[in-house]
Amino acid sequence: TLDFGISILSTTDGTERTNIGLLTRSNITYMENWDIPGWDYANVSNIAKPSECQAACDNDRVCKSWSFVMHDQTSYCYLKSGVPLPVKTTQCTSGVKVLNAQDEQLVWIYIDRTQSSTDPEAEHSPYFGSIWFKTHENYLNINEDKWFLTLNIFIDHSVIEIFEQHGRLAMTARVYPENPQAYYMGVYTNTEEEQKVIINSINAWNLSTIWSKT
């Protein structure tokens, strides 16, 4: 699993922070101990094991991903109309339908608001989107199993906006940090040791005001 990003609007001790990250996996078609919660449109009956749930998704035109859940010796197979953000769990096996595994790589972009605010009334649910990388798309600059992604991130007080350079993804979220010192930025990684992440550059600048001085 490759999972890394930047923390913004952070206090020095990280008690308040918002993470903007990228997550991908080398194998997304069959993920043991992972759930992809949400976007369920069907619960298929008489499914006894994950491979049967995967086959049910493969044979359904609407299905984009699936989750097989074992709970109290009862199995559930959920078919999904989209590709939600994966979450680790011990009760699920999930997968994403991939038409050409040799030519496609799925990357999730997310805004993690779990610790964006110490206010319990503030919204803390994540925002996410996904991008399919195709190796034949020349502008991706894929070289020796490396791919490059450029994101433009704008922070305007409580508003966060993310734009992918080639227009394939746009996200907007609001956060409400309580601490007036929550203005720091840092880099984080939850990546396994054998994987490497190279941050080519991070350019930061202050936005100019649109209001004229009177």
Going along the chain from its start, the domains and CATH numbers come out as 2-27+102-189 (2.60.120.560), 33-96 (3.50.4.10)
Q: How far apart are CA 14 and CA 179, in angstroms?
A: 11
Cα distances from 189 to residues 5, 24, 52, 88, 168, in angstroms, run: 6, 12, 34, 16, 24
Over residues 177-210, the pLDDT tens digits come to 999 999 999 999 887 666 677 777 788 888 787 7
DSSP code at position 139: G
pLDDT level of residue 82 (50, 70, 90 thresholds): very high
Model confidence at 25: pLDDT above 70: yes
pLDDT value of position 99: 78
Nearest Cα neighbor of 50 from 27, 25, 30 is 30
Over residues 153-163, the pLDDT tens digits come to 999 888 999 99
Model confidence at 80: pLDDT above 90: yes
Q: How far apart are CA 71 and CA 54, in angstroms?
A: 18
The amino acid sitting at 168 is R
| DSSP bridge partners of 214 | none
Q: Which stretch of DSSP H or E encloses residue 186? A: strand 184-189
Residue keyed to tokens 């009760």: 91
pLDDT value of position 192: 66
The average confidence (pLDDT) of the chain is 88
Nearest Cα neighbor of 80 from 101, 56, 102, 103 is 56
pLDDT value of position 179: 94
Model confidence at 43: pLDDT above 90: yes
DSSP code at position 55: H
Q: How far apart are CA 3 and CA 52, in angstroms?
A: 29
pTM of the model: 0.83
pLDDT value of position 61: 95
DSSP code at position 58: H
